[in-house]
Amino acid sequence: MLLPLLILIPLVGAGIGAFVTSRTAKAWALVVSLLTAAAAIGAAASFDFHASGVVQLQYPAATLVESHFGLVDIGFEPRVGVDSISLWLVLLTVLLMPPAILASFDSIKERPREYYAWMLVLLAAMNGVFISRDLLLFYIFFELTLIPMFFIIGIWGGPQRRYAAGKFFLFTFGGSVFTLAAVIYLGISAHSFDLTDVTRYAQQTLTESQRWWVLLGLLAGLAVKVPLFPVHTWLPLAHTEAPTAGSVILAGVLLKLGTYGLLRLVVPIGLVTAGGIAFYDFIYFLGGLCVIGILYGALVAWVQQDIKKLVAYSSVSHLGFCVLGLAALNAIGMQGSVLYMINHGLSTGAMFLVIGMIYDRFHTRDINELSGLARKLPRLAFFFVFFMLSSIGLPGLNGFVSEFLTVLGAFTSDRLGITFGVFAAIGVILGALYMLHMTARVIFGPLKYPGFSGTDEHGHGAGHEAHEGTSHAPVSDIGAREIGLLLPIAAAVILLGILPRSVLSTIASPIDMLLHPVPARSTAQAPVQSEPLVITSARP
């Protein structure tokens, strides 16, 4: 019963939050998000990490066969459950949500009740995606994330928010309708939407051409969400226009829905068979898109003037690594990829938090207008540099291990091989280049920010121009609340940097099960048909 709580607590919380006063709305949202985190930690505590590949904490439990909840006649009987991969991503979600809500305390002044209600709905939807053990339920929550995010970007975003929100929604929805078609096709062919049943059915029964179309359909929605190279254009815009918390959640968790979907659906349903890997050439194509995304994202990030946009493009590049690790289809690459999802969520989410703090103070994110912030805001600069280093993969911090593993996976993959590995490695270097370039300009060098034009650090030289008043406006360093919301993420960054094994050892067995499905022992093992179905399928 712990897992449904992950959805129910935030949903009920959002419902109640609509009726509290505007002032208490934020505190209420924080409490609800912490309660959800507590439920997730409770789930983690009762999770048996020795059997991490087994789906645990299922609800309704597998033994309750006659739980006729759902739409039995089309085979939809929703069930939730987690293996260690899902559990880690749930933990990432609940770890990022309270800081994101805390970060909105000062910046969201308009219509706070609605804002926090949408944030909680978003939390419920994201948890729902990760804990779904049912294909259709996965899709339902996957789509549900669009609605709160659309409003969060569109109402509380930057100057181009309407366009950004619409583009975000239409791109993602346009891709995922094909995913829906593929999901329903799989469901009615397998007579069940249960993930295990569907996967087994796809691997054992679907013909090659059927699998091919299913693969394309699934990929259409997930590739947009990730986003892979040609369909990434919504992302920089959405990131730039979203409010801070929106960017944090978007980069931290929403993009992971795409990669998680690739891992959970595309790899086992589309690519892996009991005998080996299907669609040899397609993996080249997928890997090629990743490499293009890595290099293109990095190069475009290099020339950005807006810090937030720079980090947004860096996400395009980073997610390329993540998918490259999946496309390697070996244990190293995929473990690296899962670790990458968590690490990218932490470091990029934290980057957006810090950038939000800069923006709150100076109302600009332009690299040309900001310089030498370390002199004025040393504590903020510390966290900025810290998360930047984690993002470019400094050894000892979290990013290093996962980046290394995904590139190593590409090198050792018997499909992708050295060419892909080399190009990805170039992307690693580029990643360090643009991040360091930006940090050098914004954090170090002579102090400069809007309203401060003088060379004197003490602000005496600023008064010549019209900005007399603003030059002395108090720009304070980050306070206890802001440090408090960054610290847990920083702790996670260091922990995962020193002890990546704590995650890697637990995700090894589910990945092994993904890559080496049990071959069909006999025809009697074929999909369990527990219910007599009313549907007359064209196929026997």
Partner 1 sequence: MNTGNLLSLVLPELLLIAAACVLFLLGVFPGKAARMAVPFVALLALLAAMTTQLTYQSDPAVISADPSDSIRLAGMAIYIKTLAAAMGALFVLLSWPTDRNRGGNSAVQYGADATGEYFALLLLCISGIFLVAGANDLILLFLGIELASIPTYIMVSISRPLPVAQEAGVKYFFLGAMSAAVLLLGMSYLYGSTGLIDLHQIAEHFAANRTGVLSNWELLGVLMVMAGLSFKMAAVPLQFYAGDVYEGAATPVTALLSFVPKTSGLVALVKILWMVGGGTWQTPENIARLVAVIAMLTMTVGNVLGLMQHNVKRVFACSSIAHSGYLLVGVAAVITGKSQNALGGVLFYLAAYGLMNVAAFGVLMLLPSRSNRPATSAETFEELAGTGREHLALGLAMAVACFSLTGLPFTIGFWGKAFLIVPSLSVGNTGLVVVMMINAAISAGYYLKIVGVMFLRPVAHASETASAKQDTGRPAPITIAIALSTAAVLALGIVLPMTEVLRTKTVQSSQIDSLPTPPTASAAR
Phi first, then psi, for residue 89 (nearest 5°) are: -70, -35
Nearest CB to partner 1, comparing residues 174 and 484: 174
Q: Which stretch binds partner 1 (CB under 8 A): 276-284, 340-348, 518-526, 528-536?
A: 528-536
Q: Which of 8, 67, 158, 178 binds partner 1 (CB under 8 A)?
A: 178
Assign 442 to helix, strand or coil.
helix
The CA distance from 69 to 82, in Å, is 19
Which of 230/276 has CB closer to partner 1?
230
- Phi/psi at 9 (nearest 5 deg)? -55, -55
Site string for partner 1, 182-221 (x = CB under 8 A): --xx-xx------------------------x--------
> Shortest gap between Cβ of 181 and partner 1 (angstroms)?
5
Q: Does 480 bind partner 1 (CB under 8 A)?
A: no
Residue 474 to residue 249: CA distance in whole angstroms:
30
Site string for partner 1, 97-116 (x = CB under 8 A): --------------x--x--
Comparison of 43 and 164: residue with beta carbon closer to partner 1: 164
Is 161 a binding residue for partner 1 by CB under 8 A? The answer is yes
C-alpha to C-alpha distance for 495 and 487, rounded to whole angstroms: 12
Q: For residue 281, which amino acid is it?
A: D
Nearer to partner 1, 224 or 248 (CB): 224
| CB nearer to partner 1: pick between 128 and 336 | 128
Site for partner 1 in 35-94 (CB under 8 A): 69-74, 78
Among 95, 82, 171, smallest CA distance to 128 is for: 82
Instruction: Specify whether the CB–CB gap between 482 and 470 falls below 8 A.
Output: no
| CB neighbourhood size of 488 (10 A) | 15
Binding of partner 1 by 524 (CB under 8 A): no
Give me the least distance between CB of 171 and partner 1, in Å please: 10
Cα–Cα distance list, 257 to 91, 111, 335, 349, 364 (Å): 14, 28, 17, 15, 30
What is the dihedral sign for C-alpha 315, 391, 105, 368?
negative
Alpha carbons 495 and 450: distance in angstroms, whole number: 37
Distance CA 339, CA 503 (A): 7
Q: What is the H or E stretch that residue 57 is in?
A: strand 56-59
Q: State how far the Cα of 62 lies from the Cα of 118, in Å rounded to an integer.
A: 33
Classify residue 131 by burial, with Cβ atoms within 10 Å: 0-12, 13-18, 19+: buried
Outline where DSSP puts E strands in 154-280: 272-273, 276-277
Give whichever of 208 and 480 is closer to partner 1, judged by the CB atom: 208
- 466/538 with CB nearer partner 1: 538
**Contact region for partner 1 (CB under 8 A) — 87-95, 293-301, 463-471, 529-537?**
529-537
Please tell me the distance from the alpha carbon of residue 298 to that of residue 362, in angstroms, as a whole number.
26
Nearer to partner 1, 167 or 256 (CB): 167
Is residue 122 within 8 Å of residue 145, measured between CB atoms?
yes
- Residue 144 Cβ, how far from partner 1 at the closest point, in Å? 6
Are 172 and 146 a contacting pair, CB within 8 Å?
yes
User: Judged by CB under 8 A, does residue 169 bind partner 1?
Assistant: yes
* DSSP assignment of 347-358: HHHHHHHHHHHH
Q: Please identify, among the stretches 428-436, 475-483, 486-494, 531-539, the one whose residues bind partner 1 according to the rule CB under 8 A.
A: 531-539
* Residue 366 binding partner 1, by CB under 8 A: no
Out of 31, 54, 62, 144, the only residue in the binding site for partner 1 (CB under 8 A) is 144
Total of residues contacting partner 1 (CB under 8 A): 43
Of 168 and 387, which has the nearer Cβ to partner 1? Answer: 168
Site for partner 1 in 124-143 (CB under 8 A): 136, 139-141, 143
> Which residue do the tokens 């997930």 mark?
222
Minimum distance from CB of 162 to partner 1 (Å)? 5
Which residues would be at the binding site for partner 1 (CB under 8 A)? Answer: 69-74, 78, 111, 114, 136, 139-141, 143-144, 146-147, 150-151, 154-155, 161-162, 165-166, 169-170, 173-174, 177-178, 180-181, 184-185, 187-188, 213, 534-538
